[in-house]
Structure 1
C-alpha cells in the first residue's frame, strides 16, 4: 500500500469522528420549533406552551432581583406570567472574595463574585415540588482605588453572575418543563 492512499483517510478521521459524535446530539433551542402544528401550520414545540406560565416570587434584595429579572426574561420573554402553572421559588446568596493583592501594599487588585441560587420548581395545581437544586456562577473582576470604578466593577460582576446563574437554572428546569408540557399532571378533584 502506498503512503498517499493512507493519508487521505487519516485526514478525514477528525471529520468522521465529529460526525459520529454529533449524530447523537439532541440538544436544541429551549423554545425552538420541533414540528408543525397541523391546525395552524405554525412552528411549535412543547415548551412554547409554557412561555408565560412560570411565575416567581418578588425578590427581597437587589442581588435577588438581578437573578429574578434574568430568569423571568429567559422563561417568559418580555411578557409577564399569565395564568401560571408553576412557580419557581428561589433563594440567592452572593459573596465577594479577594483573589489577588498588590505586592508591597496588600491592597486588593482582583476579586471573584460568586452568586449561588437554591431553587425549587413547584406545580401550583397540587403544591408539589417537581424539581429542585442549586446552581452558582463566579465572575472575576478587577478592583481599583477609584471609588466609582470599583463600585461599577462590582455591579457589572453581579449582573454577569445573575445572567450566568439564570442560564444554569434554566438548563436544569427546561427538561422538567418539557416533560410536564408533554405529559401534564391529571387534575385531582378537591375534597
Structure 2
C-alpha cells in the first residue's frame, strides 16, 4: 500500500532520478579560491596603507582574501590615489556644484618567495557627488564619494587577483 497507492509508478521513477541527481551533486565541492583553508597555497598579503583611501581599499582586499596573512605565498603591492574634480559650473560665481571623485589603484601581485611578478595592473572607479555651499558638508561629500569609489576599486582588484590565481 505504501509504494503503489501513495506514490504510483510515475512518482517512483521520479524519486529514483532525484536520488541519483543528489548522489551526483554530493561529489561536487565548493572551496575558496584563496584564504585560510588550512594550507597557504593561495594566501595573499597586502602592503600597508599610507592614506585614508588606500586603507579602505586595503581593508576590503584583506577581508576578501580571508583575513590578515602572516606567511602568505603571494604579496600584493598596492598604490591608491584619489582625485576630485568639478563637473558642472553653476551659481552666481560660476562655482562647481557637482563633482566626480576618481580612485585609482595600481597593483603588482608577486610570488612572495621569488619576487616574480604574476600580474600587475591599474583599476579605477568614479563616484559622483554634489558640492553644497557649506565647507563641512563638502568635506563629508568628498569623503563619502571616495569611500564608494574605493569599495568599487577593491572589488575590481580582487577580481583581477582571483583570475590570476585561478590560472
Aligned residue runs from structure 1 range 48-63, under 5 A: 49=37, 53-63=43-53
Closer, same or farther in 2 for the Cα pair 1:70/1:128, shift >3 Å?
A: same
1:94 paired to 2:87: no
Closer, same or farther in 2 for the Cα pair 1:55/1:102, shift >3 Å?
A: same
**150, 153, 156: which one pairs with 1:165?**
153
- Paired residue for 1:124? 112
Q: Distance in 2 between matches of 1:155 and 1:52?
A: 33
1:112 paired to 2:100: yes
- Paired residue for 1:143? 131
Give 1:63 shift. Answer: 2.0
- Paired residue for 2:162? 174
* 2:87–2:100 contact (8 Å) kept in structure 1: yes
Per-residue deviation, residues 121-172 of structure 1 (Å, max 9, x unmatched): 0011211010011100010000001122111111101111110001111111
- Paired residue for 2:122? 134
Closer, same or farther in 2 for the Cα pair 1:141/1:71, shift >3 Å?
A: same
Q: Distance in 2 between matches of 1:45 and 1:108?
A: 46
Closer, same or farther in 2 for the Cα pair 1:130/1:99, shift >3 Å?
A: same
Aligned residue runs from structure 1 range 63-78, under 5 A: 63-76=53-66
Number of aligned residues: 138
User: Alpha carbon RMSD of aligned pairs, Å?
Assistant: 2.1
* 2:65 counterpart SS class: helix
Give 1:52 shift. Answer: 8.1
TM-score normalised to structure 1 length: 0.66
Closer, same or farther in 2 for the Cα pair 1:139/1:51, shift >3 Å?
A: farther
Give 1:35 shift. Answer: 3.1
Is there any run of 5+ residues in structure 1 with no aligned partner, and where? 1-33, 37-42, 180-191
Closer, same or farther in 2 for the Cα pair 1:135/1:73, shift >3 Å?
A: same
- Paired residue for 2:31? 44
* 2:110–2:117 contact (8 Å) kept in structure 1: yes
TM-score normalised to structure 2 length: 0.75
* 1:95–1:113 contact (8 Å) kept in structure 2: yes
